Amino acid sequence: KRARDYGLRLGVVPAGPLNAITDVPGVRVGQITLQQGTSVRTGVTAIIPHTGNLFQQKCPAAIYIGNGFGKLTGISQVDELGTLETPIILTNTLSVPTAADALIDYTLSQPGNEQVRSVNAVVGETNDGYLNDIRGRHVTKQHVLDALRQATTGPVAEGNVGAGTGTVCFGFKGGIGTASRKLPASLGGYTVGALVQTNFGGVLQIAGVPVGVELGKYSYKENLDGSCMMVVITDAPLDARNLKRLAKRAFMGLAQTGGIASNGSGDYVIAVSTAYQIPHESKSPFDEQKVLRNDNVSPLFMAAIEATEEAIINSLFMAQTMTGDQNHNIEALPVDRVVDLLKKAGVIK
Amino acid sequence: KRARDYGLRLGVVPAGPLNAITDVPGVRVGQITLQQGTSVRTGVTAIIPHTGNLFQQKCPAAIYIGNGFGKLTGISQVDELGTLETPIILTNTLSVPTAADALIDYTLSQPGNEQVRSVNAVVGETNDGYLNDIRGRHVTKQHVLDALRQATTGPVAEGNVGAGTGTVCFGFKGGIGTASRKLPASLGGYTVGALVQTNFGGVLQIAGVPVGVELGKYSYKENLDGSCMMVVITDAPLDARNLKRLAKRAFMGLAQTGGIASNGSGDYVIAVSTAYQIPHESKSPFDEQKVLRNDNVSPLFMAAIEATEEAIINSLFMAQTMTGDQNHNIEALPVDRVVDLLKKAGVIK
Amino acid sequence: KRARDYGLRLGVVPAGPLNAITDVPGVRVGQITLQQGTSVRTGVTAIIPHTGNLFQQKCPAAIYIGNGFGKLTGISQVDELGTLETPIILTNTLSVPTAADALIDYTLSQPGNEQVRSVNAVVGETNDGYLNDIRGRHVTKQHVLDALRQATTGPVAEGNVGAGTGTVCFGFKGGIGTASRKLPASLGGYTVGALVQTNFGGVLQIAGVPVGVELGKYSYKENLDGSCMMVVITDAPLDARNLKRLAKRAFMGLAQTGGIASNGSGDYVIAVSTAYQIPHESKSPFDEQKVLRNDNVSPLFMAAIEATEEAIINSLFMAQTMTGDQNHNIEALPVDRVVDLLKKAGVIK
Amino acid sequence: KRARDYGLRLGVVPAGPLNAITDVPGVRVGQITLQQGTSVRTGVTAIIPHTGNLFQQKCPAAIYIGNGFGKLTGISQVDELGTLETPIILTNTLSVPTAADALIDYTLSQPGNEQVRSVNAVVGETNDGYLNDIRGRHVTKQHVLDALRQATTGPVAEGNVGAGTGTVCFGFKGGIGTASRKLPASLGGYTVGALVQTNFGGVLQIAGVPVGVELGKYSYKENLDGSCMMVVITDAPLDARNLKRLAKRAFMGLAQTGGIASNGSGDYVIAVSTAYQIPHESKSPFDEQKVLRNDNVSPLFMAAIEATEEAIINSLFMAQTMTGDQNHNIEALPVDRVVDLLKKAGVIK
């Protein structure tokens, strides 16, 4: 069960109907989970922002780097041009090149892209090398293409799936998590969805309750390091500049869970708007954009903070104990005990 | 009383003896409070990292910008050269030029600086224009020089003092706050001190308890905007690159309190190390630096997060209800009710 | 006489009618020159992008930092919000606070700004402390306000005027320079204007001719340090992101003249578009922007490179030998010899 | 013949003995050229900064992004940690993932790296898709590993080799180029070497002579777009912050050749110091660094500008006319005519 199913409410903005990144119309997610033998514990998560040809109809996008000890590809072109031209792939650290190569395959082979000679593949990762035989690089291009092909709207699988299959978060089993927020009509009615791949350390707190300390597992007591990939998509009409600001707020959501962005952390946020597209080619020399004024972005900032926070918590609630490479074992968050703690603190009635 | 005096413990790292930025040896703070008539509610806070001639013996330093809607001066030179060459002054938004001018006076007139022709004044601000007649620009150069002259080690006044005299935080009276963390000897024994000028919005949470919502005062319900200046000083030997990373963690501390870095926010962190100095002139072409390795900075990151969080909370606990310009009134945080909420949540026993 | 009057043609894009920043419709420049007694050699240059209330009708803008050893104020807010809300003032290093204070006066006192409580003053500088008694800080707020009041369209005075009164460039007398480029209608017909305050070092080359070496005055042989402030304004509809890219090209124009951005250099470019404004307040939650597509900005890049290059050369051609503080003397560029060198190289027929 | 063999002298700093990046002690370069059938015109260039295990003994490094329309991998980790832990590979745009994958192979398989689970592969590229069947992705991991294996000190092949096999520069055949500068002992005696992969547009000038215009081939007249990868290595003891500044100067060298960093350009500089290493693991919590003071970096800046400029010119002088994919043909720079132009301008005696 997800955090909200236990009665947990994080923040003040209401969630969307699925409480998932797929609450943003058109967004699809596909995941391939590789769990083979005793040592393969990894996978692929694909996020596709809209149903068209993404290369020909690019999305405004931005990337914020919380802590840059990571291998996210595609950063500089998104920064320079303010657009995303491929789906986003998440996988493990050493499989980033494979996934990027697959994204190139995917893009080159799409109808309409016969003349494309340059593709800015965006691939994020965290390091699942504790539970997964990461040096074996078990992710293939086909896995990535399969994740893209299977991508669908609707509910998103969480926990030990896709790129989150083998990850560890706050010393417990992490994974994929998602959540969303939907602003009321008076604030534009926009949806902000988050999807995270959690693999980081710190002092876990849930709705402020110091769960990590209570359970005796936290940075400072022991060395919990690692990374978090965050994807934030909104149907609000933001340009790249304000998407970068939105992305930074997702990182604040990570901070809310007690994340510390330790030295070894690769904490990245990719923020995308689906409100309008920027065509690869155009007869007009102009892009005509109707974008939200700076004055109106703060509620979206709140939505991004909250959706990211809840997505991280969901990844923990939904993950399950796993044994993997070298017989390494990581326990799931003991949800019953956590719920007790949350009840004692009055956070869950 | 400060938050800790009520039994509140934030985070897992122990505080320094004063729980103040002045726990870092050599750091001095001086404050001038301007509370005159019905409309002047402003002031100056000066932070001096070491007792020598700061221009001649510069500190390694870095600035992180959380949200850049603010007027902090001196950014680019600190970024380019990695050094701080003046004390740090905090004041109100429209008095930044006055304070910068005073810092130039201060620097030019120090013995040994007779040939100095360039001074990178670092002045931060938040906007106290709700309680203070900010357009009247009541801060003078003399006020700034007085704050510098009075700067002293030891306990630091908090709440409605200095640059925090007229500020508003989470809808309650904000002000100056400070706190510190001291790592155990096994982690280097370093101290990290924070001093903040709180004037920002969001959904206040204290030790995770949703105080803002409980008290019916939070962003989203109403528009709470504004800024936060944060100063973090450490005696750990960090170079400018790692100081920039440390600065970013202070911003994570702000996130922990429920800050949202709204559109109108000027959220800046100035991070300084006192562990070594970089001489303005040197016979050697080299700087010889013994700096902490990347691998060893994470505990300092935690210390910065926690010290900043607690400094913000202290600013609220220590501030008092104020009536100011145009009869505007801002209530202090109702500490008794807050303490009740914290007890109910089990955060204070 | 200006460089072009000698037959010099730099680059391939045609100049505007005035070959000045004021070729961009609506742009006004005002300058106050302070040349008093034997040691005051400084001044103020004001650039006003449009004739309305700039605070209420902000211009899209961006700042690029070539080398950040300088004191430009207003950087972070322009970066965060993508707008300029005051005129741009250039002056000497130690008078930046005075000029910023004057910009606040100017803005607060404009009709319609009665409720304004926050002003992001943008003031650039270079250090004229060799010829000018810079420690005396002879620029007053009134000088700045006078420069603003006198600002006018039409030809712009160059050389030893305004903020360029006491500057030194490539070892010769520098100063204020300006130039422009106008794209043909097929490329949009846009104008790009540049205005520079030259005070930097390197190995001067004019149209590629190694004038610095020929005249025996260049970095490496001797230590020529210093800074360059560059302002680039265009009527092309660029958003902040593409203005930042345009700004960077001005820095490439500096490189074309042989500038090296030495350690002590404060090299900044402020880029502004006058094609549309962003209102301070609006009933609509949206800004509707018709901006040039990424694909169409390269000719503007060329225009910015060339206009900046020529503005720098103009500053040298128009400056005159000056004796100043402590009897320091700086010779003007020996234009006759330079013209001979240019003729010999076939650059001038 | 290289530019210098015709008597051309660029800049004022003397070249190193080979006038190549390999003048920096320990630096090795290896190149694989793929020229097969009528349409394969691509390759790999590998640069290895020192002879040890680079992952275990990392080099201080920084990356500067001139224009970010490109696919360079590894940016954020170099930025965050200030170190390079793999050799640098240059190849074509769509083969970046293959090369990154090969760098992971290379690193994982090195003795001493048996426990390595995270590798930050640094791979740069330009787009050779006009002459090369880039969509065919003909570069294999083996090609990359071969380039690494063949890497050697000594002279470096230039022109149509390695990653420069199919590139186009200023409308002429581009390729790989290299050059170096060696400061006199009085300035530290340091060497700065540059290696470039030239594939960009603009208005070619050589020693300032407007060769592009004279030959009727330049941006503005026609659309010459594209990218430039630049690698700068020095034995001067610079930390990551000053390496970033050095990297920016290489981009100024590009500007000196008439490059305009057009919209479609991916202009990146990777700067590396070989003066000291940062061990992956250490018993000490400290790095002890003896680095050049800010005050002493300007001569290195000049060296980087000049070496990059000359490396670009060398790439043009050494490249040869090529026919490739779809029968596309690109002429080499007509060196004889160019030399005539340079003589006429007095640049070559």
CA D268 – CA D196 distance, rounded (Å): 10
SS3 per-residue string spanning A124-164 = EEECCCCCCCHHHCCCCHHHHHHHHHHCECCCCCCECCHHH
Best residue in B39, B69, B71 to probe C by mutation, most C CBs within 10 Å?
B71
Name the DSSP letter for residue C11. Answer: S
Name the DSSP letter for residue A331. Answer: P
**Mean pLDDT across A2-12:** 97
Which residue is closest to A186 within chain C, CA to CA? C285
CA C245 – CA C249 distance, rounded (Å): 7
Best residue in A220, A248, A292 to probe B by mutation, most B CBs within 10 Å?
A220
Q: What is the pLDDT of residue B349?
A: 86
Shortest CA distance to D300 belongs to which of D317, D275, D268, D265? Answer: D275
What's the CATH class of domain D3-281+296-340? Answer: alpha beta
A276 touches chain D (CB under 8 A): no
Cite the DSSP H helix spans in A238-297: 240-256
- Residue B73, classed as helix, strand or coil, is strand
Q: What is the pLDDT of residue C234?
A: 98
* C145-175 burial code (b ≥16 CB/10 A, e <16): bbbbeebebeebbbbbbbbbbbbbbbbbbbb
Q: Which residues of D are catalytic?
A: 227, 265, 267
Q: Which residues of A are catalytic?
A: 227, 265, 267
Name the DSSP letter for residue D222. Answer: B
Shortest CA distance to B233 belongs to which of B66, B59, B32? Answer: B59
C70 touches chain B (CB under 8 A): yes
Confidence band, pLDDT 50/70/90 cuts, at residue D201 = very high
- Beta strand C40-48 with C28-36 is antiparallel
Q: From first to last of its 349 residues, what are the pLDDT tens digits of chain B?
A: 999 999 999 999 999 999 999 999 999 999 999 999 999 999 999 999 999 999 999 999 999 999 999 999 999 999 999 999 999 999 999 999 999 999 999 999 999 999 999 999 999 999 999 999 999 999 999 999 999 999 999 999 999 999 999 999 999 999 999 999 999 999 999 999 999 999 999 999 999 999 999 999 999 999 898 899 999 999 999 999 999 999 999 999 999 999 999 999 999 999 999 999 999 999 999 999 899 999 999 999 999 999 999 999 999 999 999 999 999 999 999 999 999 999 999 999 8
CA A51 – CA A44 distance, rounded (Å): 19
pLDDT over threshold 90, residue D335: yes
Question: How many residues comprise chain D?
Answer: 349
Q: What is the mean pLDDT of chain D?
A: 97
What confidence tens digit (pLDDT) does each residue in C179-200 have?
A: 999 999 999 999 999 999 999 9
Question: What dihedral angle (degrees, nearest 10) is formed by the CA atoms of A144, A145, A149, A150?
Answer: -30
- Chain D residues in contact with C263 by the CB 8 A cut-off are 245, 294-298, 301
CA C84 – CA C75 distance, rounded (Å): 10
Interchain pair C252, D262: CB under 8 A: no
Q: What is the pLDDT of residue A193?
A: 98
Provide the token pair at C37.
């007694």
What confidence tens digit (pLDDT) does each residue in A189-221 have?
A: 999 999 999 999 999 999 999 999 999 999 999
What confidence tens digit (pLDDT) does each residue in C142-171 have?
A: 999 999 999 999 999 999 999 999 999 999
What confidence tens digit (pLDDT) does each residue in B268-309 have?
A: 999 999 999 999 999 999 999 899 999 999 999 999 999 999
Question: How many residues comprise chain B?
Answer: 349
* ipTM of the complex model: 0.98
CB of C253 closer than 8 Å to CB of C309: yes
Let me know if A284 is exposed, middle or buried by CB neighbors in 10 A (0-12, 13-18, 19+).
exposed
CA C298 – CA A82 distance, rounded (Å): 16
Of C239, C282, C284, the CB nearest to A239: C239
Provide the token pair at A155.
């509910």
pLDDT over threshold 90, residue C68: yes
CA of A275, closest CA in chain C: separation in Å?
A: 13
CA C165 – CA C81 distance, rounded (Å): 33
Tokens 């045609």, residue located: C14
What confidence tens digit (pLDDT) does each residue in D218-260 have?
A: 999 998 889 999 999 999 999 999 999 999 999 999 999 999 9
Q: What is the pLDDT of residue C240?
A: 97
**Mean pLDDT across A164-182:** 98
CATH architecture of C3-279+295-339: 4-Layer Sandwich (3.60)
Provide the token pair at A325.
């490479």
Shortest CA distance to A96 belongs to which of A133, A44, A47? Answer: A44
The CATH number assigned to the domain with range B12-277+295-341 reads 3.60.70.12
A237 touches chain C (CB under 8 A): yes
- Residue A276, classed as helix, strand or coil, is coil
Name the DSSP letter for residue A94. Answer: G
Which residue is closest to C187 within chain A, CA to CA? A285
B56 touches chain D (CB under 8 A): no
B97 touches chain C (CB under 8 A): yes
Interchain pair C291, A296: CB under 8 A: no
Q: What percent of chain D has a predicted confidence (pLDDT) above 70? A: 100
- Chain A residues in contact with B294 by the CB 8 A cut-off are 263
What confidence tens digit (pLDDT) does each residue in A42-55 have?
A: 999 999 999 999 99
Q: What is the pLDDT of residue D25?
A: 98
Q: What is the pLDDT of residue A349?
A: 86
The CATH number assigned to the domain with range A9-26+52-84+156-279+291-342 reads 3.60.70.12
What confidence tens digit (pLDDT) does each residue in A56-85 have?
A: 999 999 999 999 999 999 999 999 999 999
Read off φ and ψ for residue B200, nearest 5 degrees. Answer: -125, 175
CB of C140 closer than 8 Å to CB of C91: no
Q: Which residues of C are catalytic?
A: 227, 265, 267
pLDDT over threshold 90, residue D349: no
Angle between helices D240-256 and B240-256 (to 10 degrees): 110
Provide the token pair at B261.
């870095």
pLDDT over threshold 90, residue C349: no
CA of C289, closest CA in chain A: separation in Å?
A: 5
Tokens 């006066």, residue located: C105
CB of D307 closer than 8 Å to CB of B307: no
Which residue is closest to A67 within chain D, CA to CA? D80
Looking from the CA of D305 toward its CB, the CA atoms found within 13 Å total 30
